[in-house]
Every structure is written in C-alpha cells, then in structure tokens.
Amino acid sequence: MTHCISEPDLLKEAAEWLLPTLSSFRQEFPAHTNPSQACRVRWNALLCQADLVALTWPREYGGRARPTADLIAFHELCASHGAPQPINSIAHSILAPTLLQFGTDAQKARFLPGIRDGSEIWCQGYSEPGSGSDLASVRTRGTQTPAGWVVKGHKIWTTQAHLARWCFALVRTDPDSTGHRGLSFMLIDMQAPGVRVSPIRQLTGEADYNEVFFENVPVTAENIVGEVGQGWRIAMAAAEYERGIYFLPRVVQLEHEFERAEALFDRAVLETNEAHSYAHRLQEARDRCQVIRWRVEQVVSRVAAGSTPGIDGAILKLLWSETRQMVVELQLELLGERAVLGPEAEGEYAADASTVREFLWSRAETIVAGTSEIQRNIIAERLLGLPKDKSTDGN
C-alpha cells in the first residue's frame, strides 16, 4: 500500500515504543483477548502514557502538531502488529477532530485534556428506539432553561455508555422542528442527575452496547458545540471521520483475517466440490479486499490533504463491513466442529473461540456507524446523483 510521505522520526519512535510494549502487554493480554474491555482499557492507558493519542492536535492543546499522514501511518503500524483498539477510540478519532473543527476555545480547553490523558471516556448518543440509522427522526428533547438546557429522551445501542464519563449526543432543541432541522450537538455529563444506563446483552455474551435514559438531565449552555440548531451539520462531519480514519485499522485487521481464512482452507480436508466452492468464495473475498485497499488510498489522500473522507468514507464502510462478514463466515465454516465451542472457550481452543466471537460481532457491523442501506443511499444520492429516498427525507 502506498502511503503519503511521513516524517520518519515519529514512526521510528513509535515503532521503538510499540514492539517491546506490545510484547510485554501480550504476557497479560494474548491476541485473542483484543476485544475484551480490560484489554482495551489497558491499551488506551499505555497509548496515553506514551503521548501517542494527540498526534495531529495543535500544540496549545497538548498535541504534537504532526501531519495527518503520520497519524494514518501510526494507525496502520499498530494494526499491522495486531494491537487492540483503545477503549476511547471514539473520542480519539471522532470527537476530538470534531471539537478541533467546531468547538469553542473553552470547550477544547475543557475536554481535550481528558481525551489526551485517558481520564475521560466518551460515548456517542445518536440512535434511538424506532429510529435506527435515521438520525433525522431524533426525539430526545432539549428544553431551554435560565441555566441552560434540560434533556429528556432515550438513546439505544450506545457503545461504552457504562464506562463513559461524557456523551456527545444529537438532541432536538427546537420543539417545532422536523427532520434534520432543529437538532443540536450536545456534550452531556454521564454522571449528572437523571442519567440511567441499562446494558444490552449481545450474541457474544458481552454487553458493550447500552440503553441510555435522560430523565430531565441538566446541560449547560456552554456544552453545545456550534450553534443551537446546527447539530446535523456537525454530526455529519463527525460521521465522516467515523467512516474514514476510524476504520483504517480495521482494514488491516481484515487483511489478517483473510490470510487466516486462506490458511484454514489450506489445512482443511475437503471433497473436490467443496474445495472448488471455497476457492471461489475466497477469490471473491480476495478481490473485495483489493478494492478496499484502493478505497483506503482514496481516504488516505483526502484526509492527508486536510479534507474529510467524504463519499469515500461511506464506500469504504459499506465494502469493509460486508466483506468482513464474508471473511469471518468463511473462517467459521472452515473451523469445522471447533466452531461449536462458542465464543467463551478457553485453553487450547481460545483462538478458535475468538473467531466465533468475531463472527457473532460481525453481524452488527453492517448496522453500526450507519447501516448498509444508509450507506447505499448516501452513495446513490451524492455520487450517482439519484433522487433522494423519500422515506428517509425528514425535511
């Protein structure tokens, strides 16, 4: 993969830190534990201690003022060595760039340090019951008071809400508005009175997702990012970061998973017809991985040039999520009887159990960060110029 030229000293420093740190880390957290909460919390702390979270931030906010190409290269370096996703990656890759672009000086001074040092975990409050990926139908309300706002509503599928100190959320602050209008981008204290978090048990047995209830939660006026009623524009910019930079490490992970599927195929004892079928499916997955590589180049070019991923982010997210489901399903089938052990098997079967876990988790990946249907609508409207889908037009 061709990368933008990056300043070599940072990558050399990062590699010198990463390899021994990850080797020591693996003594406590083997690779198959990467998705676990404890593993991701600890890795987040190590990144923060090494000052490797705020690479592109301005120096006045504790950043290292490095070019975006360095950030991209560092993400791929970590992913190529199988490092876990840090628990606060939503804040690193989505909220921090959003605050740097749209936040006030006071908001940057208040919230960026907690992201940089790892002391404050964030969650994203977008989806609501009955709304899914249709953010235009947000019903959580913000009512203005002399002290700021009072928020009442219900969010769902909120990742890490049980750990989060703060939540960035879309809230309807104009009671007469519909659709995309009248929404505001709020920063809500998860320890404020009136916040209630209820875990959602997943197929994997984990509970990373949550329901969040806001029952007359106070929010100060200073905790609205941008102008009141302009939340949609800010949320869309944040979504582009989510579908772009946030997914880059996952593309490298997908390539490693495809290599494992090939290795399982090479070891499998199959009938001739079965072997031909699997070979055909692997070739399709290989071709899709190559297309994803090309799309990553487009995202890297746009981000390194100072732009957001744009439509390429939607294309990448769509291709990646559906291809990953294909690849992990191939792995699961080729595991044979070991696949029935379930996602919590230990000992000599721990690595196989992690494949089962990834298969179950991958079912959600065509839903999170915008469903495949939403991505197809975005591509159809913005790239192909097709008419808007009336069923999703809330204006």
Q: Which residues are catalytic?
A: 242
Radius of gyration of the chain measured on its C-alpha atoms: 21
Q: State how far the Cα of 331 lies from the Cα of 103, in Å rounded to an integer.
A: 44
- Find out whether 324 and 338 touch, Cβ atoms under 8 Å: no
3-state secondary structure of 262: helix
What secondary structure letter does DSSP report for 230? B
The CA distance from 137 to 180, in Å, is 8
How is residue 210 annotated by DSSP?
A: E
3-state secondary structure of 150: strand
Q: Which two tokens stand for residue 93?
A: 């890759």
Nearest to 310 by CA among 247, 381, 239: 239
Looking at the DSSP bridge assignments, the partners of residue 171 are 184
Question: In this structure, are strands 166-172 and 122-125 parallel, antiparallel, or unpaired?
Answer: parallel
> Cα 180 from chain centroid?
23
Phi-psi group of 368: left, alpha or beta (phi > 0 → left; psi -120 to 50 → alpha; rest → beta): beta
User: What SS3 state is found at 168?
Assistant: strand
C-alpha distances out from residue 29 to 46, 80, 118, 351, Å:
13, 17, 19, 13
